[in-house]
Amino acid sequence: MSKFPNLRLRRMRRTDSIRNLTRETSLSVDDLICPVFVIHGQNVREEITPIPGYYHLSLDQLPREINEIANLGIHAVLLFGLPDYKDPQGSGAYASNGIIQNAIRVAKREAPGLTVVTDVCLCEYTNHGHCGILDDSGVNNDQTLGLLSRIALSHGEAGADIVAPSAMMDGQVGAIRAALDKNNLSDLPIMAYSAKYASSFYDPFRVAADSTPITGDRRSYQMDSGNVREAMREIRLDLEEGADIIMIKPALAYLDVIARARREFEEPLCAYNVSGEYSMVKAAEHLGWIDGNHIALEVLTGIKRAGADIIISYHAKEVAQMLQEAHSV
């Protein structure tokens, strides 16, 4: 009985409304986190060339961006900062009046209901561009942990809603959790960049964040792209150390990792649809080779279908706009 010609799967594809009723995975603006880049200075609103639609914003320009994002119905932003000085210890990252700490205050003042997530890392703030402190043999894991804890603490004290450690140091989630708990921030959640791969998909971001390492690369701390079992181990360790949300990054070349993490873990799962994934779409759209809007929806739907609950994406603004328009029809 249940085969052709009695069974015809095309029946369920006949109209928009039937397709809507039977769709297994739907995108919602609730799923999205939108990145924002802040910089020192005044009246700065400079488009980041390889990430079109995203800007280096001075703090006086931040309210406008925050309002635009909030008006699109997006509930969360991920802040990245460019400091006015860099040193070997990345001290600008944990200055109480640093660029991110001030940006958190501006964002929370402008839109108290908006969830402000912060990236806890050193690479934008160190003069060598690595995600930790250097010694003779490379990035020193254990010495870096104290600094990452100070960064997370300074973000929490400035009012961040979620801190997201991305340095890929062993033990970073546990160290940060302990520091937060000791300082009255036991309610502040940690979103762990658990399985963060060493990836060329970050190249546009490194232009945006001025964080390309001046020597070497990040392969001694970020993951090798061939590994998926190791990703499960990274996630398991982060959960044992107290992560509240786990993350896989990048997204598109790692959908199998997302799908496997979804099967193995119950916790909220985030995927970071990174800068290079966005830039490629924008470049092809600019050349007239693809329909950027449709591709953006397809990309984010694919990441969600693979198993992500939360998606950090530069497509957030345009997709939120499309979802808003679709609802108002």
What CA–CA distance (Å, rounded) separates 176 from 153?
8
Q: Does position 118 bind ligand PBG by CB under 6 A?
A: no
What CA–CA distance (Å, rounded) separates 58 from 89?
24
Closest contact distance (angstroms) between CB of 206 and ligand PBG is 6
Q: Does position 274 bind ligand PBG by CB under 6 A?
A: yes
Beta-bridge partners for 269 = 246
Q: Which is nearer to ligand PBG, 274 or 310 (CB)?
A: 274
Q: Does position 234 bind ligand PBG by CB under 6 A?
A: no
Pair 73, 320: CB distance under 8 Å: yes
Among 31, 65, 119, 234, binds ligand PBG (CB under 6 A): 119
Task: Specify the residue for token string 């890929």.
Answer: 168
Which residues does 92 contact at the CB level (< 8 Å), separation at least 6? 83, 84, 85, 86, 98, 99, 125
Residue nearest to ligand PBG according to CB distances in the complex: 205
Closest contact distance (angstroms) between CB of 111 and ligand PBG is 22
Helix (H, G, I), strand (E, B) or coil at 226: coil
Q: Does position 37 bind ligand PBG by CB under 6 A?
A: no
Q: Which is nearer to ligand PBG, 94 or 205 (CB)?
A: 205
Q: Count of alpha carbons within 13 Å of 222, Cβ hemisphere only?
A: 22
Chain residues 166-185 in contact with ligand PBG, contact rule CB under 6 A = 166
Q: Does position 223 bind ligand PBG by CB under 6 A?
A: no
What CA–CA distance (Å, rounded) separates 174 from 131?
17
What CA–CA distance (Å, rounded) separates 93 from 87?
10
Q: How far is CA 276 from CA 75, 206, 313, in A?
A: 24, 10, 11
Q: Does position 194 bind ligand PBG by CB under 6 A?
A: no
**CA dihedral angle for residue 81, residue 279, residue 218, residue 221, rounded to 10 degrees:** 80
Q: Which is nearer to ligand PBG, 58 or 166 (CB)?
A: 166
Q: Does position 76 bind ligand PBG by CB under 6 A?
A: no
What CA–CA distance (Å, rounded) separates 325 from 208?
30
* Residues that are catalytic: 196, 249
Among 121, 145, 251, 311, binds ligand PBG (CB under 6 A): 121
Q: Does position 123 bind ligand PBG by CB under 6 A?
A: yes
Closest contact distance (angstroms) between CB of 208 and ligand PBG is 8
Q: Does position 221 bind ligand PBG by CB under 6 A?
A: no
Q: Output the six-digit token pair for 84.
A: 């006015």
Q: Does position 48 bind ligand PBG by CB under 6 A?
A: no
Interacting span for ligand PBG (CB under 6 A) from 68-76, 110-118, 134-142, 202-210: 202-210
Q: How many residues bind ligand PBG (CB under 6 A)?
A: 11
Q: Count of alpha carbons within 13 Å of 23, Cβ hemisphere only?
A: 13
Interacting span for ligand PBG (CB under 6 A) from 104-112, 137-145, 205-213, 223-231: 205-213
Q: Does position 275 bind ligand PBG by CB under 6 A?
A: yes
CA neighbor of 176 nearest in space, from 220, 96, 230, 119: 119
CA neighbor of 217 nearest in space, from 131, 136, 148: 131
Among 155, 206, 260, 282, binds ligand PBG (CB under 6 A): 206
Interface positions with ligand PBG (CB under 6 A): 119, 121, 123, 131, 166, 202, 205-206, 211, 274-275
